[in-house]
Amino acid sequence: MKCRLDLALCFILLIAFMGSCTTAPPKLYKHYNTSMIQFLGSDENYIKTKNTMEPTITVPLKVGIAFAPSLNYGEDFPEKERMNLMQKIASQFKEYKFVESIEMIPSLYLEQAGGFSNLDKLRQLFDIDVIMLLSYDQSQFKDTSALSITYWTLIGIYFVKGEKNDTYTLMDAALFHIPNRQMLFRASGINHIKNKTTPINLSEQAREDSLSGFRQASVDLTKNLEKKLYYFRKAIRSSTGKFTLKLKPGYELKPLKNIE
């Protein structure tokens, strides 16, 4: 009797094992993102709260830097890497005399779909005039299937088609004038990693590619942001931007320096 029970148990375990092998396949890709559009809210709410008047830029500026909220917080772009990127961007702002102070705002101060009402609170809490909002979108393809991902940004769409072991990363930065709900300028950074690996170390390689993708896209972002900051400085210096310029007492604009 015991022998029959053992045989029956082995048979049941074999069937269960075979069943697990024929269940739904693993995920074909991983997708991490922080959406600036979702944070700011729908177009209708954005239009209702937007001030159509030209923003008054009071220099030197008080700048805040923060990441839009993430649904995958802690699983995607590590907090340490986020802080490193914010520190690099802060150092870029510090090179210009039109910046008085910079506040790096932790992610937990921003709410899901908090929008400009959330930014108004940050403006009062951290005493800032403008805020640089950072966002990212990363997709990892692990199959040869014809998969694709569409990246939605504030001014357009990025469309990519995935192949096996591909990692696509998009980093975006936009500077907003909080009182007038207007975007002053933006910059982006992109990266594409194509790798070959065996199924055994696929997960480990995917994690490495994910972190590498974030880092390399961050480098591309800071490179492009450097130019946008210079042109923004030029607009302030010549008063040619879509804003009204106001100087604080004792502040003088100095001549521009050339940039490669």
Q: What pTM, to 2 d.p., does this model score? A: 0.76
Return the top range by mean pLDDT from 16-30, 53-67, 132-146, 239-253: 53-67
Residue 243 confidence (pLDDT): 82
Angle of helix 202-238 relative to helix 79-94, nearest 10 degrees, comes to 20
% the chain with pLDDT above 90: 35
φ/ψ of 73, rounded to 5, equals -55, 130
Phi, then psi, of 239 in degrees rounded to 5: 55, 40
C-alpha distance from residue 219 to each of 95, 230, 253 (Å)? 18, 17, 29
Higher-pLDDT residue of 200 and 243 is 243
Which pLDDT does position 56 carry in this prediction? 84
pLDDT score at 16? 42
Is 80 exceeded by the pLDDT of residue 65? yes
Q: Give the pLDDT confidence of 201-229 residue by residue, as tens digits.
A: 667 778 888 899 999 999 999 999 999 99
**For position 197, what pLDDT does the model report?**
59
Least confident of 14-28, 83-97, 101-115: 14-28
User: How high does pLDDT run on average in the chain?
Assistant: 77
What is the pLDDT at residue 54? 78
Write the pLDDT tens digit of every residue in 112-171.
Answer: 889 999 999 999 999 999 999 999 998 887 765 545 555 555 555 555 555 567 888 999
Which residues are bridge partners to 188 per DSSP?
172
What's the whole-number mean pLDDT along residues 250-257?
68
CA neighbor of 181 nearest in space, from 63, 48, 60? 48
DSSP string covering 49-67: H---SPPEEEESEEEEEEE
Evaluate if residue 55 carries a pLDDT over 60.
Answer: yes
Query: What does the alpha-carbon distance between residue 14 and residue 18 come to, in Å, rounded to a whole number?
Result: 6
Question: Within its chain, how far is the Cα of 188 from the centroid?
Answer: 9
